[in-house]
Amino acid sequence: MKMFSWVEIGQKATFVGVYDGHGGPEASRYISNHLFSHLIRIVGENGLKISSETLKNAVSATEEGFMSLVRRSFGIKKLMAAVGSCCLAGMISEGTLYVANLGDSRAVIGRLKRHGSNKIVAEQITEDHNACMDEIRQELKQNHPDDPHIVVMRQGVWRVKGLIQVSRSIGDAYLKKPEYALDSSFPRFHLREPIRRPILGNNPSLYNRELKPEDKFIVFASDGLWEHMTNQQVVEIVHNNPRSGIARRLVNLAIKEAARKGKKKYEEVKKMEKGCRRDVHDDITVAVVFLDQQVNTRINEASMRGFAKSITTSSFSTL
């Protein structure tokens, strides 16, 4: 299991984290176990209010901690250097949404087109750090002008160094520090030339958005959902269906669409073994935060693995 999520509701704030791992479960598990506690520590030690900067500092502390774990493990488990995770962390505090993002998980607000209207529209809050996007490829080329192979098309997909789609992450030490290079005995992660500078970034993109009366909910989800459904499709489904079980509904609809694309029946996909399911669809985690006058915030969650405390949740395993 490489997908983890974390949801917390307090008296003054709501936290949602979606951690989509790759190369193994260690990075996403580490983020799930440490990011929120780092956030609480940073806020408590410095008497700070929740802000984009406190989220950034919590993410940085988590990255540093995981890289320390890689360093301690590298001598006996070299593949720890190839483990990484996307990280989407959002906080709602005092009527403002704060988000930090590394990778291609996504936060989308569903808002009414105008106050008093019943027409829902999607507003994407985060930017996908994925080499399939032209602006990300241009960013990588600008940061690595001496590397003509910084982005490579492989199997019909743009990848950083032909290896990975995301351009920012927690972990992936072998693409950030030369001392964690993996030799040819690990062909999947072997780089022919040593890196001169970090290839993947570890600085999250930060966003803050004042919530308005027409903002009705926020969808936090891994790329497994957005691969098969558009932002607008997702917010319309949430808006036009009962809240109870809505995250599970989104996950099931994404799996049905993946099955259709793979020319398989939904029931057939559901019966497939865990390893085989990955040939049809990626892991999927969805958390939907309903904004009831920004006071009585409710969560509906469906994920590979979730943690929830004192909230109403609906959990669902995709694999």
What confidence tier does 310 reach under pLDDT thresholds 50, 70, 90?
very low
Task: Provide the CATH number for the domain around residue 119.
Answer: 3.60.40.10
Residue 98 domain-assigned?
Answer: yes
Residue 245 has pLDDT above 50, yes or no: yes
Pair of tokens at residue 292: 């009831």
Tell me what pLDDT residue 171 has.
98
Q: What is the pLDDT of residues 170-220, one digit of tens each?
A: 999 999 999 999 999 999 999 988 898 999 999 999 999 999 999 999 999
Residue 234 clears pLDDT 90, i.e. is over it:
yes
Q: What is the pLDDT of residue 270?
A: 58
84 by Cβ neighbours in 10 Å (0-12 / 13-18 / 19+) ranks as buried
pLDDT beyond 50 at 319: no
Mean residue pLDDT of the chain comes to 86
Does residue 136 form part of some domain? no
For residue 97, with 0-12 CB atoms within 10 Å meaning exposed, 13-18 middle and 19 or more buried, which class applies? buried
Q: Does 151 map to a domain? A: no
In terms of residue numbers, what domain contains 77?
3-130+166-302
Give the model's confidence band at 259: pLDDT under 50 very low, under 70 low, under 90 confident, else very high.
confident
Residue 21 lies in a domain: yes
- Is 226 among the domain residues? yes
Domain count, the chain: 1
Do the Cβ atoms of 314 and 302 come closer than 8 Å?
yes
Q: Is residue 139 part of a domain?
A: no
User: How far apart (Å, rounded) are the C-alpha atoms in residues 20 and 169?
Assistant: 10
Contacts with 74 (C-beta within 8 Å, 6 or more apart), sequence order: 80, 81, 173, 180
Q: Say if CB 19 and CB 304 are below 8 A apart.
A: no
Task: For residue 143, give the DSSP letter.
Answer: H
169, amino acid identity: S
Model confidence band, residue 64 (pLDDT cutoffs 50, 70, 90): very high
Give the residue-averaged pLDDT of 76-94.
96
How high is the pLDDT of residue 236?
97
More confident residue, 261 or 30: 30
What average pLDDT does this structure show over 285-311?
A: 56
- The answer to whether residue 199 sits within a structural domain is yes
User: How many Cα atoms occupy the beta-carbon half-sphere of 264 within 13 Å?
Assistant: 17
Please measure the distance between the N-terminal and C-terminal CA atoms of the chain and give it in whole angstroms: 8
Nearest to 26 by CA among 72, 58, 57: 72
Least confident of 35-49, 198-212, 242-256, 263-277: 263-277
How high is the pLDDT of residue 295? 41
316 domain-assigned: no
